[in-house]
Amino acid sequence: MPKRGASKGILIGINKKNSVAKKPAKKKSEIEQTLLKNLVELQKVHIDLAEKFDKLSKEISGLLSLFEITARNFAKNAPQTAEYEKDKDFLEKIDRLLDQNKTLAKGLSLMEERMRERMYSPRPSPRKNEPFEQSIVSEKRPLPHF
């Protein structure tokens, strides 16, 4: 007589010769069925995702081409006004001022470096009684013999 399992409602057959349950075999087939069903669903999700990526890439390509067309039209139709020329002249003057500023900064840093050398470098104190030439002459050493 078949009995129902208490936990999952699985039919368990009991033989009169052996009291062996067929629960593991049926459970295996149910797991396989569930696994197959899940794999099929996963494949459907992958297909859907791939289609959405294709659609997204097409839309991005369309937007990119739209931006390119707009940039070309803007470049062609941009008015060359006197204000543009004034801005260009102003920028050139600023560039010249920056170059002059760099030159002045280099000169000032060189001047500062020279001043530091003069102020902080040790000066040899001249000997008033002995001139340089006399000190060399006064030391008479014999030449070495080889």
Judgement on whether residues 11 and 71 belong to the same structural domain of the protein: yes
Q: Rounded to two decimals, what is the model's pTM?
A: 0.37
Query: What is the pLDDT tens value at each position of the chain, 146 positions in all?
Result: 455 444 444 444 445 555 455 567 779 999 999 999 999 999 999 999 999 999 999 999 999 999 999 999 988 887 677 777 888 889 999 999 999 999 999 999 999 888 888 888 766 555 555 555 555 555 666 676 76
Judgement on whether residues 58 and 21 belong to the same structural domain of the protein: yes
Structure tokens at 53: 């990526």
Residue 2 lies in a domain: no
Looking at residue 4, the DSSP 8-state letter turns out to be E
Find the domain containing 61 and state its range.
Answer: 7-78
